[in-house]
Amino acid sequence: MNLLRRIPIFIGVFILSMASLARAPHGFSHPKYKTPHKERHSFQRGLASQDNETLYRQRAAHIDRKLREARFSGSIYLKCGGKVYLNKSYGRRARELQGKYYDIGSITKQFTAAAIMKLAENGKLSLNDPISNWIKPLPPEKGKITIEELVTHRSGLVYPKDSDDDPDRDDYPDIKKQLSQYKPGYQIKDLKASSLEEINTMDLKDKAFSYNNSNYTTLAYIVTQASKQSFNRYLKYNVLKPLGVPCGFNDHRSIAKDRAAMGHSKGRNTTLAGYFMDGPGFIGATGLICRPQDLAKWYESMGNLYKDPKTFDRVRYLEGSPLKSGNKGYSYGLQFDKPLIQHTGSTVGFVSASAYNPATGCVGVSFSDEETDFSTQPSVDTWLGIEQDYGDDEEPPPESSP
């Protein structure tokens, strides 16, 4: 009889408990996980509410439509909070592009920077080393450039005015002329010769930021000297494999030729199709090939590469470095605009864009197999919530930032 009297009490307690759970917010509830109001994002990592997923799907659908309307040629991969919202190839070659490896161009630089940071963390080199410790002969003033100045594009090296590499030129040399400089099967001596030639022909100005490929070609050679291995081998076994990132190199040796997307480019006097670069002038600055999902995995796991978490803080945001300027800038192979870390790339036949928000777990990667197709950046920006100009007669993407 006493037991029967207690049944309503048990039922009441159960109902109250369930009501309390229903009112509890999704995700982390511990005070230490609460985000300050000024830094709060609409999509915090770990949240999985229906509203968030609906917005992700709407934004992915919006990007999908825009790419189809633009007749985009390439592949895109959009992911948030562990869920993939778009993984698709586009254009007349869409079927053959699905699952293929693309030349990621200058996005390679962040992998080169990671190799340098691993060597520094393991005591094989110092970021303060003058480059004359590793590559000779150099003029005294250029020999004083440090490894850190190379990796942050603050070496002071700039391309001579009106040279083929001058980014301010109004015209660009014929692609055939560019290709004549490169040869397959490069060796370390070729990499050294290429680095020395670049440094010795460049002008040396103040140490303000100046982006150029020569900084990273030189870093690739320094990697070979500090590691006593080829650049590709060191990168493969000390940067890529530890994180399970199956990117390869554009030499047709690490990835079978039929698994690689072929680039398409229109030059001033020539049309180039099905070209894959392989030469010392690009090692370290470009040269990696990845599938979109591989690069996304890299962004999500790159922090696990280092033994000391402070190393990754320095890589991402120049924490503790005198080079830091506000929340924007160029770190160790990464463009950053807090909270985003990102990089773009373009090379003969390919254009690429990528960005990651560590605070939300959202990552976007877009590759094109046509050098003249610049739809990659807007699609990634839209996914990460960066405002885009869609024109007066077009509607903007769904609001709120992942």
pLDDT of residue 223: 96
Q: Are 296 and 202 within 8 A, CB to CB?
A: no
Give the whole-angstrom CA distance, residue 372 versus residue 267.
10
pLDDT of residue 127: 94
What would the two tokens of residue 70 be?
A: 């633009």
Give the whole-angstrom CA distance, residue 193 versus residue 136.
10
234's torsion region: left (phi>0), alpha (psi -120 to 50) or beta?
Answer: alpha
DSSP string, 19-79: HHHHHSPSS--SGGGPPPGGG--SS-TT---HHHHHHHHHHHHHHHHHHHHTT--EEEEEE
DSSP-based three-state secondary structure for 255: coil
Q: Is the peptide bond before 322 cis (omega within 30 degrees of 0)?
A: no
The second-level CATH assignment, the architecture, of 91-383 is: 3-Layer(aba) Sandwich (3.40)
Q: Are 297 and 205 within 8 A, CB to CB?
A: no
Q: In the chain, what are the helix, strand and coil shares in percent, each to the nearest 5? A: 40, 20, 40
Question: CB atoms < 10 A from the CB of 109, how many?
Answer: 28
Q: Are 295 and 354 within 8 A, CB to CB?
A: yes
Domain boundaries, the chain: 91-383
pLDDT of residue 116: 96
- Tokens 């002071």 -> residue: 156
Q: Are 78 and 63 within 8 A, CB to CB?
A: yes
- Consecutive sets of 10 residues in the chain, 402 residues long: mean pLDDT of each? 45 36 26 27 35 86 93 95 94 93 93 96 95 92 93 87 49 47 56 82 83 90 94 94 92 73 71 55 84 96 89 70 58 81 87 90 94 82 68 48 46
Q: Are 185 and 128 within 8 A, CB to CB?
A: no
Give the whole-angstrom CA distance, residue 292 versus residue 78.
9
Torsion of CA 349, 343, 72, 95, to 10 degrees: 70
